[in-house]
């Protein structure tokens, strides 16, 4: 078989052979399928058939393969690609692993992603850099829920080419009908997902049928074998086509007179002399040099890492996107996106995260979860949160405008990750659908005094910390301790509680239903104004009803809002009874007293829960401080 | 604009651009990066890519060499010449305590010696420098455990890697954020294979330590492994003498622990040819990896690269 990387024939000039090696192009693909569909076996087989497994590895492998299912070669190929010790013990692949092989025409990078139920996140990860996907199906089982799920994730992440690998065809007697039934069931489903190409191939990874060449066992199959197909499929788009996007990654200052903007062309082509603009500020400049260590260039195409020198002084920093006038990306601080959640802690709307779009990292808030898409049925359902491995359509508001494109137009400028502000974990990955409020005309020069500016003067991030809990639960004590600590650290904080609000701002309000809502509304609006002024606002209110707390969160808008539930058991609060209120309520002297004759609705999604009966206020305040500001 | 034929990048151009992008991301995102420089061929490629990434500026961070004091002399000479020629800041660290205790590969065995003079030394150097990012030349094709490592690989405050708790890595968007005391290991060559490295060295004309090329060298043979006698600290077994053979090295490390192979390949094309024809993996020559399977992963969890 000539398709594998071979030793050059003796009469080939070495230089020619090496030049040919250097010119090969690159195909990145991922494999997906359910556990035991044969992914590992298939990858192992591709490595083996492309002569990538060396003698010492083969010997080790033959030893390890005893007592396992093997093909004629006496090798369990799946052993080749099972990595980490813990995974080997469990017998399942649980993470993304990368493999490499090459043929005469191409180099391949394979992302091996797991089929296990819970690992949507790993598949999305593997898919994000893939041009093509091998979607494995066990011929005996046919299409599974997971086949649909994987296809959906592929389309979400924008993988355009799919090979439906119908594996273990040997175990169904190389039956044409089985293969065709699977293919016929898959095609209409795939059509709804808009892939650029779908090719179904019947294979036996274990026995090697239709891997490097046509199998004698499937004379009824007229199509290509897998490896030749992977070698010839055209996935690369014209790199020089498309709108110019040059995200500035690093500003290169070499000495006094050199200022260059280093980055990788995300799409399009840039040439010396081109008129450009900075996407956010609209400042114009033209390209005077394209610098590389190998000498100046006349042009650079998508995928190339170069350094641009402009013909005049312009304000450009890391994160800016250079583009052409007339083909600028969107610049906005709000967009709608689809989000894959990748962390055990769920996503909640109203939460604040760090959003990294290209080289821009900006604080932002998940302003709404519009709906969740069931990855198995593609059904949309209302949701208030996204759990690990769930996919939702959301809106985000960033603290400052960023330049981006819809993901469908440009994956490099249309993708982002969400980072936890405290643990720095990568929580989710998103693809941008469209901008929400057009901020294109926003002028960079005009200097608005806004929350961010005020907050920067105070060197702090404004926030609203909303304490909820029974009377006597310790809300105010803890809020006071946190305020002291903040003040000691040079931060500017303020406490709003019943005492300083009821007697002034809200002294016209009583305890009727309508008054209660108005009470909360006013407090939340004041908290919001204070946060806008740059303050950290600690609100200590019983706020027993979920609706009230939701209202407060909504009013806070894009201000970082943390709901802290001081969850102290009623018995403890009543025993403390600092103001004698419980006693009076028990005697019937106070009506509608929370915990006695009026309910406390426990928060369903408090951001932080403090167990008041179990630990001292000082310890709770410390813990809270650490989580909020540490 | 005239319509031209569709243009795409070759795989080496794509790999080069990817690596350069990673270097720049490190320079832009971390306060105190460092690049680990082991003087081997992968380090030579790494150095070349770093120079490309920042040209015309100099590499904006130091290169760190952990010197066990048992490296081949030619490696040290090459290292110093590279630093002078390319004007990078070179930091050489040796575990002084290990030297004081005369830890050496002959008396203490490869595992213990490597732990003290390499793993611990590296940790000392990283702690002393307060580095928040350490760039290394590891490739995913080298070993099964490495196949799953991220390009930006998070390390806790004890430099340990937790394979169960890796940050997902999507597109070219890298999460570079760290908590107090934490650090990042960064691997710009993740997606390169050994053949890519050699082909790139050839097409770019990158200089490598001459030990990679076959020359007559003094060696002794022990359990089928050829060890070069590089200086007079070498301990001969009774009756053992060095003999001249034409050999080369596939990997470079501490000379008493690095096996040479008999080969006539005296230039790059010959090496690449020989490699394509050979049927054994690169790490075989490296004695420290010859213990039980899964050993690399353990070493990584302990903070070894
Ligand atoms: N008969 C047959 N068995 C196969 C084939 N492919 C894989 N297997 C077997 O199916 C089982 C699961 O394969 P594995 O590659 O570990 O699946 P993974 O979980 O998808 O990686 C192993 O026992 C393989 O030997 C095939 O084409 N034909």
Q: What is the pLDDT of residues A557-575, one digit of tens each?
A: 889 999 999 999 999 999 9
Q: Which of A17, A259, A307, A308 is the best substitution to test chain B (most B C-beta atoms within 10 A)?
A: A307
Helix A617-629 crosses helix A475-488 at what angle (to 10 degrees)?
A: 50
If you take atom 26 of ligand 1, which residue's CA is the nearest one? A168
- Chain B residues in contact with A294 by the CB 8 A cut-off are 52
pLDDT tops 80 at residue A474: yes
Residues 132-171 of B with CB under 8 A from A: 140-141, 144-145, 147-148, 163-164, 166-171
Interface test with A, best of B172, B190, B195, B205 (most A CBs within 10 A): B172
pLDDT tens digits for A217-255?
A: 999 999 999 999 999 998 876 666 789 999 999 999 998
Estimate the crossing angle of helix B194-204 against helix B11-29, to 10 degrees.
Answer: 90
Asked whether residue B287 carries a pLDDT value surpassing 50, the answer given is no
Cβ distance of A240 and B179 shorter than 8 Å: no
- Structure confidence at residue A344 (pLDDT): 87
8-state DSSP, B142: S
Q: What is the mean pLDDT of residues B73-101?
A: 96
Mean pLDDT in chain A? 86
CB of B177 less than 8 A from some CB of A: yes
Q: How far is CA A429 from the centre of its chain?
A: 1
Q: How confident is the model at residue A125 (pLDDT cuts 50, 70, 90)?
A: confident
Chain A residue with minimum CA distance to B276: A7
CB of A205 sitting under 6 A from ligand 1: yes
pLDDT on residue A64: 67
- Please judge whether A305 and B4 are an interchain contact, meaning their C-beta atoms are less than 8 angstroms apart: no
pLDDT computed for residue A384 by the predictor: 87
Q: Is the CB of residue A367 less than 8 Å from the CB of residue A558? A: yes
Residue range A606-624: mean pLDDT, rounded: 91
Kindly state if the Cβ of A90 falls inside 6 Å of ligand 1.
no
CB A552 within 8 A of CB A466: yes
Does the beta carbon of A33 sit less than 6 angstroms from any atom of ligand 1?
A: yes
Model pLDDT, residue B141 = 83
Name A338's bridge partners. A393, A431
Q: Tell me the mean pLDDT in the region B249-263.
A: 92
Q: Give B-chain residues touching A304 at CB under 8 angstroms.
A: 9, 13, 17
Q: Is the pLDDT of residue A600 over 70?
A: yes
Of the pLDDT bands very low, low, confident and very high (cuts 50, 70, 90), residue A74 is low
Which chain B residues contact residue A88 at CB under 8 A? 294
Cα B191 to Cα A109: distance, rounded to the nearest angstrom: 8
Strand ranges in A315-473 using DSSP code E only, listed in sequence order: 321-323, 330-341, 347-348, 352-357, 360-373, 380-381, 385-386, 391-404, 415-419, 426-435, 463-468
Q: Say how many CA atoms lie within 13 Å of A590 toward its Cβ.
A: 16
Arithmetic mean of pLDDT, A19-33: 86
Higher pLDDT, B179 or B201: B201
**CB-based contact A107 B297, cutoff 8 Å:** no
Check CB contact under 8 Å for A100 and B8. no
Q: Find the mean pLDDT for residues A371-388.
A: 89
pLDDT at A54: 62
What value does the mean pLDDT take over residues B90-117?
A: 92
pLDDT (0 to 100) of residue A330:
92
* Residues whose CB is less than 8 angstroms from the CB of residue A488 and which lie 6 or more positions away in sequence, other chains included: none
End-to-end CA separation in angstroms for chain A: 62
Give mean pLDDT, residues A520-528.
92
- pLDDT for residue B188 is more than 50: yes
The alpha carbon of A175 and the centre of ligand 1 are apart by a number of angstroms equal to 18
| Residue A256: predicted pLDDT | 84
d(CA B18, CA B172): 9
Q: What are phi and psi of B12, to 5 degrees?
A: -70, -40
Residue A294 gets which letter from DSSP? T
Most confident range, picked from A264-268, A373-377, B109-113, B233-237: A264-268
Q: What is the pLDDT of residue B100?
A: 94
pLDDT band at A328 (very low <50, low <70, confident <90, very high): very high
Instruction: State pLDDT tens for residues B15-59.
Output: 999 999 999 999 999 999 999 999 999 999 999 999 999 999 999
Question: Quick one: pLDDT at residue A116?
Answer: 63
Tell if the CB–CB gap between A263 and B24 is shorter than 8 Å: yes
Q: What is the mean pLDDT of residues A257-271?
A: 95
Closest CA to B294 of A134, A89, A448: A89
Put simply, whether B201 touches A (Cβ < 8 Å) is no
**Per-chain mean pLDDT for chain B:** 86
pLDDT digit string, tens, across residues A419-448: 988 888 999 999 999 998 654 333 333 346
Contact in structure between A410 and A328 (CB atoms under 8 Å): no
Which has the higher per-residue pLDDT, A161 or A62? A161
Position in ligand 1 atom list of the atom nearest CA A44? 15
The alpha carbon of A609 is separated from its chain's Cα centroid by a whole number of angstroms, namely: 26
Share of chain B above pLDDT 70, in %: 87
Nearest ligand 1 atom to alpha carbon A33: 20
pLDDT at residue A2 greater than cutoff 60: no
Candidates A22, A83, A250; nearest CB to B145: A83
Asked if the peptide bond before residue A384 counts as cis, ω within 30 degrees of 0, the response is no
From the list B209, B206, B198, B268, the residue with the least C-alpha distance to B52 is B206
Cross-chain Cβ contact A25/B11 below 8 Å: yes
Note the pLDDT of residue A501.
Answer: 87
pLDDT at A58: 67
pLDDT at A550 over 80: yes
How many angstroms from the chain centroid is the CA of residue A38?
A: 28
Does position B161 have pLDDT exceeding 90, yes or no? Answer: no
Predicted pLDDT at B290: 35
CA distance B127 to chain A (A): 21
Do residues A587 and A546 lie in contact, with contact meaning Cβ atoms separated by under 8 Å? Answer: no
User: Residue B37: its pLDDT value, please?
Assistant: 96
The torsion angle over the Cα atoms of residues B270, B272, B277 and B279, rounded to 10 degrees, is 130
Query: Exactly one of A50, A471, A543, A598 is catalytic; which is it?
Result: A543
**How would residue B279 be classed by pLDDT, with cut points 50, 70 and 90?**
low
Residue B288 in this model has a pLDDT that exceeds 50: no
Are the beta carbons of B269 and A240 separated by less than 8 Å? no
For the CA of A205, the closest atom of ligand 1 is 27
The predicted pLDDT at position A451 comes to 79
Q: B28 with A318: CB under 8 angstroms?
A: yes
Gap from CA of A230 to ligand 1 centroid (Å): 21
The Cα–Cα gap between A199 and A349 comes to 40
pLDDT, position A23: 80
**pLDDT on residue A507:** 85
The mean pLDDT of A364-393, rounded to a whole number, is: 90
Q: Please indicate whether residue A288 is annotated as part of the active site.
A: no
Looking at A410-419, A490-499, A512-521, A587-596, which range is the least confident one? Answer: A512-521
Residue B189 pLDDT class (50, 70, 90 cuts): very high
Per-residue model confidence (pLDDT) at position B283: 41
Q: What is the pLDDT of residue A13?
A: 67
Long-range pairs of A70-73 with CB within 8 A, sequence gap ≥ 24: A70/A206, A71/A206, A71/A207, A71/A208, A72/A207, A73/A48
Cβ burial, residue A214 (10 Å; 0-12/13-18/19+): middle
Mean pLDDT of B208-222: 95
Q: Is A37 in the pocket of ligand 1 (CB under 6 A)?
A: yes
pLDDT > 70? residue A486: yes
pTM: 0.75
pLDDT above 90 covers what percent of chain B?
65
B205 touches chain A (CB under 8 A): no
B9 touches chain A (CB under 8 A): yes
> A–B: how many Cβ contacts below 8 A?
208
Using the predicted structure, report yes or no on whether residue B160 has a pLDDT greater than 60: yes
Instruction: Report in angstroms the alpha-carbon separations of A416 from A337, A353, B298.
Output: 9, 12, 33
Backbone angles phi, psi at A195, to 5 degrees: -75, 155
CB distance B198 to B213 below 8 Å: no
pLDDT at B5: 52
Per-residue pLDDT, B289: 36
């Amino acid at each position: 078989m000539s398709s594998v990387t071979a030793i050059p024939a003796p009469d080939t000039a070495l230089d020619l052979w090496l030049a040919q090696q250097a010119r090969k192009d690159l195909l990145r693909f991922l494999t997906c399928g359910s556990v035991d569909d044969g992914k590992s076996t298939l990858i192992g087989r591709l490595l083996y058939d492309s002569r990538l497994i060396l003698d010492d590895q083969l010997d080790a492998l033959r030893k390890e393969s005893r007592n396992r299912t093997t093909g004629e070669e006496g090798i369990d190929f799946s052993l080749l690609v099972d990595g980490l010790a813990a995974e080997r013990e469990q017998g399942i692949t649980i993470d993304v692993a990368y493999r490499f092989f090459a043929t005469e025409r191409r180099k391949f990078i394979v992302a091996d992603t797991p089929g296990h139920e819970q690992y949507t996140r790993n598949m999305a990860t593997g898919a994000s850099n893939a041009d093509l996907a091998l979607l494995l199906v066990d011929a005996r089982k046919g299409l599974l829920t997971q086949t649909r799920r994987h296809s959906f994730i592929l389309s979400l992440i924008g993988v355009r080419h799919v090979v439906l690998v119908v594996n273990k065809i040997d175990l169904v007697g190389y039956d044409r009908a089985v293969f065709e039934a699977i293919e016929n069931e898959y095609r209409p489903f795939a059509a709804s997902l808009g892939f650029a190409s779908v090719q179904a191939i019947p294979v036996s990874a274990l026995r090697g049928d239709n891997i490097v060449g046509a199998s004698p066992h499937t004379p009824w199959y007229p199509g290509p074998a897998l490896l030749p197909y992977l070698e010839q499929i055209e996935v690369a788009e014209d790199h020089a086509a498309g709108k110019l996007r040059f995200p500035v990654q690093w500003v290169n200052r070499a000495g006094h007179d050199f200022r260059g903007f280093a980055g990788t062309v995300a799409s399009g082509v840039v040439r010396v002399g081109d008129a450009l603009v900075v996407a956010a500020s609209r400042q114009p400049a033209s390209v005077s040099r394209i610098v590389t260590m190998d000498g100046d260039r006349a042009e650079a195409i998508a995928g190339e890492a170069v350094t641009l020198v402009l013909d005049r002084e312009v304000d450009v920093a890391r994160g800016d996107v250079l583009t052409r006038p007339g083909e600028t990306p969107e610049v906005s601080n709000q967009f709608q996106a689809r989000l894959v959640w990748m962390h055990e802690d769920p996503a909640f709307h109203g939460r604040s995260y760090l959003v990294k779009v290209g080289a821009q990292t900006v604080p932002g808030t998940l302003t709404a979860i519009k709906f969740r898409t069931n990855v198995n049925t593609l059904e949309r359902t209302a949701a208030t949160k996204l759990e690990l491995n769930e996919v939702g359509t959301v809106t985000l508001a960033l603290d400052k405008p960023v330049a981006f494109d819809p993901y469908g137009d440009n994956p490099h400028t249309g993708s982002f990750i969400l980072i936890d502000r405290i643990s720095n974990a990568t929580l989710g990955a998103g693809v941008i659908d469209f901008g929400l409020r057009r901020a294109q005309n926003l002028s960079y020069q005009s200097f608005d005094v806004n929350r961010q500016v005020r907050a920067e003067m105070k060197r702090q991030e404004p926030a609203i910390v909303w304490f909820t809990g029974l009377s006597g639960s310790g809300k105010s004590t803890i809020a006071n301790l946190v305020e002291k600590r903040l003040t000691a650290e040079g931060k500017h904080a303020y406490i709003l509680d019943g005492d300083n609000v009821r007697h002034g701002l809200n002294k016209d309000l009583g305890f009727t239903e309508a008054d209660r809502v108005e009470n909360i509304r006013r407090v939340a609006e004041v908290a919001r104004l204070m946060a806008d002024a740059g303050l950290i606002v600690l609100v200590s209110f019983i706020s027993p009803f979920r609706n009230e707390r939701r209202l407060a969160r909504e009013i806070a808008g894009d201000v970082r809002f943390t709901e802290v539930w001081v969850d102290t058991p009623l018995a403890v609060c009543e025993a403390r009874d600092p103001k004698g209120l419980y006693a009076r309520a028990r005697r019937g002297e106070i009506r509608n007293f929370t915990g006695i004759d009026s309910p406390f609705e426990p928060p369903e999604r408090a951001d932080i829960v403090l167990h008041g009966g179990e630990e001292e206020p000082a310890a709770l305040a410390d813990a809270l401080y650490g989580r909020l500001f540490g | 604009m005239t319509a031209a034929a569709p243009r795409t990048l070759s795989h080496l151009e794509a790999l080069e651009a990817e690596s350069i992008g990673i270097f720049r991301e490190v320079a832009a995102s971390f306060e105190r990066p460092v690049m680990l420089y082991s003087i081997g061929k992968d380090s030579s490629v790494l150095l070349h890519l770093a120079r490309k990434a920042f040209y015309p500026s100099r590499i904006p961070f130091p290169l760190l060499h952990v010197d066990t004091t048992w490296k081949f002399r030619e490696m040290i000479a090459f290292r110093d010449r590279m630093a002078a020629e390319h004007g990078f800041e070179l930091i050489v660290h040796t575990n002084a305590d290990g030297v004081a205790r005369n830890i050496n590969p002959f008396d203490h065995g490869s595992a213990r010696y490597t732990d003290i003079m390499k793993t611990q030394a590296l940790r000392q150097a990283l702690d002393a420098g307060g580095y928040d990012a350490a760039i290394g030349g590891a490739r995913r094709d080298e070993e099964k455990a490495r196949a799953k490592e991220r390009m930006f690989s998070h390390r806790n405050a004890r430099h340990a890697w937790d394979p169960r708790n890796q940050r997902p890595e999507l597109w070219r968007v890298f999460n570079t954020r760290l908590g107090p005391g934490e650090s990042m290991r960064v691997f710009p060559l993740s997606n390169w294979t050994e053949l890519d490295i050699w082909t790139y060295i050839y097409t770019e004309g990158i200089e490598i330590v001459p030990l990679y090329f076959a020359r007559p060298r003094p060696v002794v043979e022990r359990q089928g492994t050829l060890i070069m006698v590089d200086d007079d600290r070498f301990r001969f077994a009774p009756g053992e003498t060095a003999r001249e053979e034409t050999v080369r090295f596939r990997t470079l490390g501490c000379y008493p622990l690095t096996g040479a192979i008999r080969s006539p390949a005296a230039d790059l094309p010959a090496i690449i040819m020989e490699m394509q024809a050979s049927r054994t993996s690169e790490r075989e020559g490296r004695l420290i990896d010859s213990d039980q399977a899964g050993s690399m992963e353990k070493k990584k969890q302990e903070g070894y690269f």
